[in-house]
Amino acid sequence: MSEHPHRRYNPLSDRWVLVSPQRDQRPWQGQVEDTPNPEPSYSEDCYLCPGNERAGGKVNPNYSGVYVFENDFPALLTDCEFTNSEAAGDELFLAAGVQGRCRVICYSPRHDLTLASMDDRQLMAVIETWADETRSLGEHFEHVQIFENRGATMGCSNAHPHGQIWALSALPSEVSVEKRQQSMYFEKNGSSLLLDYALKERAKAERVVCGNEHWIAVVPWWATWPFEVLLLPLDPVAAMPDLTSAQRQSLASVLQQLLGAYDALFSVPFPYSMGWHGAPSSTDDASWQLHAHFYPPLLRSATVRKHMVGFEMLGESQRDLTPERAAEQLRKVLS
């Protein structure tokens, strides 16, 4: 791959990213992050640990596995009515009401565990919960967003292993664009954009981090974040509940590999935002392929992170470390 500046196209988001390999060794004098301290198995100050009181006054049960509850401070409500008092009907001041539910999923009662450190049985319990929640919430809402913000660097205020599930009556902007792009590709080619992409990346191998019979994890051709990863099934799958038992077992295995590589790269619990994108609930969309995005901000070490500023906010995303080199670094720590 060229060591000269170039732009790469993201067919999933219809955006471009500027790649500047010649800047990879530039000196860094910007902000550095603190490395986190090891966590105890139980914390009496943690509002997510079993038996502890949450901020809203409710007390967690003494749960022994995965625990899901309604967010005490939800971003979405099920019984609200919205009126645009600014200027109804004015195209410059559009607004629309939205309803939804926000749930919290505690992966484990252990305060010191993470998805990366869980065994197969524990990971399978999380995956089954993801699928069950997607199915049940999808009966009432158009989009179900499973996500996790890991680490204080990503704004996570509690180290207890947990993620969130937001279900809403409208498609979010990012998902709407992905739906449009996948539909356009399917209409043009008669096949799935992301399935075609996964198979081509498996054949090329240079951006593959890890994989197995059913899954592939790649630093995508169009990656924006330094060690961004796209996790894809190698068979047609529209949504999380559609995964077979074998695909779920394989997902647990590939998650252990990928998240283990993240943590091993800089010898620190790797911060990230991750989330699953499945097909909209109300459509039987043959073009949609289930996938997960991982957006980790660490750039060169446990303390140096990538910031989106300047040209990236005003022009387009930019990266120095090429996706090929990033994938190579992650593969090395797997062996």
The neighbour count for residue 26, using CB atoms within 10 Å, is: 8
Q: What is the pLDDT of residue 32?
A: 53
DSSP 3-52: SS-EEEEETTTTEEEEE-GGGTT----S-BPPPPPPPPS--TT-TTSTTP
Distance CA 247, CA 127 (A): 10
Among the listed residues 143, 160, 162, 293, the single catalytic one is 162
Residue 9, Cα to own-chain centre: how many angstroms?
20
User: The domain at 36-334 falls in which architecture?
Assistant: 2-Layer Sandwich (3.30)
Q: What is the pLDDT of residue 29?
A: 45
Instruction: Give catalytic status of residue 162 as yes or no.
Output: yes
Q: What is the pLDDT of residue 36?
A: 66
Q: What is the pLDDT of residue 305?
A: 85
The neighbour count for residue 265, using CB atoms within 10 Å, is: 20
Contact by Cβ (8 Å): 284, 242 = no
- The helix/strand/coil state of 198 is helix
Those residues of the chain that have pLDDT short of 70 are: 1-2, 24-37, 85-89
For the chain, give me the number of helices (H) and strands (E)?
6, 12
Q: What is the pLDDT of residue 14?
A: 97
Task: Find, among 28, 37, 34, 36, the residue nearest to 300 by Cα.
Answer: 28
pLDDT tens digits, 263-317: 999 998 999 999 999 999 987 789 999 999 999 999 888 888 888 899 999 999 9
Predicted TM-score (pTM) of the model is 0.94
Task: Find, among 89, 96, 113, the residue nearest to 41 by Cα.
Answer: 113
